[in-house]
Amino acid sequence: MESSRVWYGRELLALAKEDPTIVALDADLSRSTMSTFIEQELPRQFFEIGIAEQNMVGIAAGLALNGMKPFVNSFAVFLTGRAYDQIRQVIAYPALNVKLVGSSAGLSDFGDGATHQSIEDISLMRTLPNMAVISPADHVQTKAITNYLARFQGPAYLRISRADTEQIFPDDYRFVLGKVDLLLQGDDLAIISTGTLTATALKAARRMEAQGIKAAVINVSTIKPLDKNDLLKSIGGNRRVITIEEHSIYGGLGSTVAEILIQEKAGYHLKIMGIRDLFGQSGESHQELLNHYQLTEEDLITAATALLSD
């Protein structure tokens, strides 16, 4: 088990050592977002803005206009919510080269409750024109995406969990924007996942295989822009599809997939698993909250079995 946020911080530091135009900005959370690695080793490439996300986004815009490559860091709930107006007006609208990194996404900040848990951020960011939205599944993918974003020209939102994740991808994994990852083949149904719940999807699929149910598992790290043809190719002949995400059922991965499938007129049966129009709450652990919101292996198996019986 590895923490994606630590791998993000280390990779950003390595990139910043090679490229002095890469700078990190933080809102008094550097030891949580892991921009602290740059803060400690490259202080001239680090800006501590304090608890002022709106101002931080504006400063990042100014830096980008002067040829810098800002990575803006805060908890996902504060960055996307508190600074939404500034992100819309001064980052997305002029399509500036600013990377927004929302840390402690989903329910992963389990102890701090609803005020700190971001379950609407994908929805907010994916509706913005020009904005890429990316949600890695493990630490290897997080590192590869961070490397990619340092070279990517334009605004992007990177969603990072606070929770430790199991390694899914090989060490030499290369990220391609828009492409999906077909992790398991299966012709009974397709499970489409993003972020930390991709590991859950893989475990559930392997358990179902032992019961004679063959489920394809597709990881979608690029919520936007998502390659429609690549997704449909990975779904293949499956007409029963489940999406699972650590996000509201409104506006996230499930909505994205539904928008694609409904245009195909191919008789898909879609089940969207996520947080059902509720705020988060405090818990003793991340897993406790996943249990409460029915986002576990068992819940996924139950949903798949029900879908197959329709």
pLDDT tens digits, one per residue of 6-57: 999 999 999 999 999 999 999 999 999 999 999 999 999 999 999 999 999 9
Query: Do residue 156 and residue 235 come from a single domain?
Result: no
Instruction: Give the pair of three-digit tokens for residue 286.
Output: 């991340």
Instruction: Give the pair of three-digit tokens for residue 242.
Output: 């489940």
pLDDT at 310 over 90: no
Using the structure block, give the residue that is written with the tokens 């409104």: 250
Q: Average per-residue pLDDT in the chain?
A: 97
Give residue 293's domain range: 181-309
Query: Do residue 191 and residue 78 come from a single domain?
Result: no
Q: Is 236 left (phi over 0), alpha (psi -120 to 50) or beta?
A: left
Secondary element (H or E) of residue 257:
helix 253-261
Query: Do residue 132 and residue 276 come from a single domain?
Result: no
CA distance 193 to 172: 22
Query: Do residue 105 and residue 197 come from a single domain?
Result: no
Domain count, the chain: 2
Query: Do residue 123 and residue 232 come from a single domain?
Result: no
Q: pLDDT grade, residue 145 (50/70/90)? A: very high
Q: Does residue 175 fall inside a structural domain?
A: no
CA distance 289 to 135: 20
CA distance 163 to 107: 9
Q: Does residue 170 fall inside a structural domain?
A: no
Query: Do residue 111 and residue 223 come from a single domain?
Result: no
For residues 240 and 269, is the Cβ–Cβ distance under 8 A? Answer: yes
Query: Around 56, how many Cα atoms within 13 Å sit in the side-chain half-sphere?
Result: 30
- pLDDT (tens digit per residue) in 173-217: 999 999 999 999 999 999 999 999 999 999 999 999 999 999 999
- pLDDT (tens digit per residue) in 42-96: 999 999 999 999 999 999 999 999 999 999 999 999 999 999 999 999 999 999 9
pLDDT at 2 over 90: no
- pLDDT (tens digit per residue) in 106-138: 999 999 999 999 999 999 999 999 999 999 999
What pTM value is reported for the model?
0.97
The SS3 assignment for 177 reads coil
Phi/psi of residue 249, nearest 5 degrees: -70, -10
Query: Do residue 223 and residue 161 come from a single domain?
Result: no
CA distance 306 to 49: 50
Query: Do residue 141 and residue 188 come from a single domain?
Result: no
